Amino acid sequence: MQSAKRPKKVGTWEAVGGLVAHFRRKAGYTQERFAEIANLHVDTIRSIEQGRLALQDYRAVEFDELLGTGGALFALVDKLPVRERMPLFAQGLVDNEQEALSILSYQSLVIPGLLQTRDYCRAVFEYRYPALGDETAEQWVDNRMQRQLIWQRKRPPVGHFIIEESVLRRQVGSAEIMRVQIQQILDFTEPAHMSMQVMPMDRTPHACLDGPMVLLETPEHQRLVWLEVQRASFLVDDPNEVSDYHLQYGMLRSQALSPSESASLLERLLGE
């Protein structure tokens, strides 16, 4: 079992930040003045230049216009792989997720990230304590939406999701956000290679009271398990341990509502 280390500065973003600082100085701006014309807090500019905050695509476009760099910043960040946009602790998941043949996900607290709407995702990050800060939260939302592009691959992965009923009934954001979110789950899991099951709140026995997990199969047919709790994450690749998690997931599938029963429950929730 491999534990993720505490996030550190990512070299890529230090390099990008250094380029931003170079262009800013070349344009004759102090950090304070550039923050003013960019309508940002000076601490945000400092964080970007120091590599502590990733420069998102839309921000790169704005900076290119303000600094007269001819699109250089956007051209750079637009070519960076998805993993480089993620916090260091999540890069192990993203690396395997991007090429996975199959993704099986059990979630007990929130809607799976690969099914979330932008508004639901934003509300989840807004609830985080201590607060992330608006700029970081919006970047994390963008990152999660970027991850969902795997469903648009020419050969998308097989996806299966088991979601606790309590997650669907907990209002995150507004009632309208939840309505749109539930509809998106139905839409995303309609194709033949996708399916979803709900674990009822009153159903026992329950094979997975230990918490959420994501099971992935790589193009080399290696099976992995991703576990995440609070701010710690683990990528499990030991075959014996992975086998136990697959057995656990299989039992949970047999205990949950069937896909058709689950879809009917979501449709009822939409009507409430």
Domain residue limits at 101: 84-271
71 lies in the same domain as 97: no
Q: What number is the average pLDDT over the span 190-203?
A: 96
Tell me what pLDDT residue 85 has: 62
In a domain, 1, yes or no: no
60 lies in the same domain as 126: no
193 lies in the same domain as 251: yes
Domain boundary among 80, 107, 136: 80
pLDDT at 230 over 50: yes
pTM, whole model, 2 decimals? 0.72
What would the pLDDT profile of 18-66 be if each residue is shown by its tens digit? Answer: 999 999 999 999 999 999 999 988 888 988 888 777 787 888 999 999 9
231 closest CA partner among 130, 83, 134, 117: 130
Could you tell me which residue, 95 or 36, shows the higher pLDDT? 36
pLDDT tier for residue 7 given thresholds of 50, 70 and 90: very low
Cα separation, 211 vs 49, in Å, equals: 38
Phi, psi angle pair for 170, to nearest 5°: -80, 125
Cα separation, 43 vs 20, in Å, equals: 14
Whichever domain contains 43, its CATH number is 1.10.260.40
